[in-house]
Amino acid sequence: MISEPDNSTIDALVRILRKSRSILFITGAGISAESGIPTYRGIGGLYNVDTTEDGVAIEEALSASMLVENPALTWKYLAQIGIAVQGARHNRAHEVIAEMESRFHRVWTLTQNVDGFHRTAGSKNLIEAHGNMHSLSCTKCKYKESLDELASIAIPPKCPRCGALVRPDVVLFGELINGPGIEHLQSELEKGFDIVFSIGTTSVFPYIQAPIYMAKSGGNVTVEINPSETTVSQVVDYRLAMPAGAALDEIWRRYRCPAKD
């Protein structure tokens, strides 16, 4: 993993940021990996095997259809995710993004992560495309609950009001990514962003790639921060092969404390 600052690229980004009024951050599992959260797959991933110990693929276990057919099985693996994030907290990368909200005219964050770290770090202009693991809803009535430690609940959890199954407010496999958050994203994209950062995501989903291509077509700046190459690495204008925390902290430090000539 490369951690040494790429000084020329960082200095170029600082100059661009000084002329920018609007920023979009797109974040994936890599930004939270620096908080000790395992990524979904890959080196150190939570699920690096083809099938679970129950003989089904993890995508099937964490699917909407399995939640209906066998909720205990789905919740077993949801609880494992809860255990993996237990005790972890947001890191410097999340903090820098939140701090930037107060220094620029318009800053939004589109995240694929369900850990809620952007929110706890202070980000307010946030679109959680896949939902939030700490927000639970009844599948029948309007009961909702917030829970810090997901691993501590009974499996599968039942609604205290009507007794129906409770589920986390996340997008399971087989479900569409839609709702007011995505509608808001489209509205913000139509306004355009001076600079778009892709951070810690492999960018395999079209809706994650789209803001990069839209920015490029509009003549705006695109940046990737990721130690590994991804589907957009050859597309972006600038690339930092660094951990997110180190890269963003250095960019932000130089932005706030310009060197004297």
Q: What is the pLDDT of residue 134?
A: 85
Q: What is the pLDDT of residue 260?
A: 56
pLDDT tens digits, residue range 222-249? 999 999 999 999 999 999 999 999 999 9
- Please report the domains of the chain, with CATH numbers, ordered by start residue: 7-37+90-130+176-256 (3.40.50.1220), 38-87+137-170 (3.30.1600.10)
Q: What is the pLDDT of residue 44?
A: 40
Catalytic residue numbers? 130
Q: What is the pLDDT of residue 78?
A: 87
Q: Which residues of 184-210 are buried (b: 16+ CB within 10 A; e: fewer)?
A: ebeebbeeebbbbbbbbbbbeeeebbe
Dump the DSSP string for 187-229: HHHHH--SEEEEES----SHHHHHHHHHHHHTT-EEEEE-SS-
Q: What is the pLDDT of residue 74?
A: 93
Q: What is the pLDDT of residue 84?
A: 73
The 10 Å Cβ neighbour count of residue 175 is 14
Q: What is the pLDDT of residue 238?
A: 97
Name the 3-class secondary structure at 255: helix
Positions of the chain with pLDDT lower than 70, given as ranges: 1-5, 38-50, 149-152, 178, 259-261
Average pLDDT, the chain: 88
